[in-house]
Amino acid sequence: MTRIYLAHAGNNREEGKRIQKELESRGHYVKNPFDHSFIAEFLCKRWDNEPENRDEELSIAITDLDKETIDKCECLVAIVEEPSVGTVMEILYAAEHNKTVCILTELDSPWLISHGMMMTEEELYEMIGGNKRK
């Protein structure tokens, strides 16, 4: 069993849940940051770009928890269908803390290439292994 942090943008939650279920069905422990209870509160506020409405305390709590969770995992799997500041920061943090970083993307970026292994979903399942449960 591998402990996996699943990084993805908020608009990729359905894809994230699908991949999370597949990894869990193969016996891996998967932590999806969108499972945090206070993410919904942040998502409701983030679309309002007025500086006086930004919640710095909540933002710090979210990023601190994400980093603590990455620290406890062996591998970070990132779904990068389009640029996402949070996902890229999670990739960088994991790479700098010597975690295995697997990036599911078709984007061509030197930053992604230099901080992780670019692969398809099928290549991820081959590399990470695990027995598919029925």
CATH number at residue 82: 3.40.50.10490
> In total, how many domains does the chain have?
1
Is 14 within the bounds of a domain? yes
pLDDT in tens, 93-124: 999 999 999 999 999 899 999 999 999 999 99
Is 110 within the bounds of a domain? yes
pLDDT in tens, 24-55: 999 999 999 888 655 655 655 554 556 666 67
Is 90 within the bounds of a domain? yes
Is 91 within the bounds of a domain? yes
Average of pLDDT values for 6-26? 94
Is 105 within the bounds of a domain? yes
Residue span of the structural domain in which 83 resides:
3-32+69-128
Residue pair 33/97 in contact (Cβ under 8 Å)? The answer is no
pLDDT, residue 122, reads 94
Is 99 within the bounds of a domain? yes
């603590």: which residue's tokens? 68
Residue 3, classed as helix, strand or coil, is strand
pLDDT, residue 58, reads 78
Is 28 within the bounds of a domain? yes
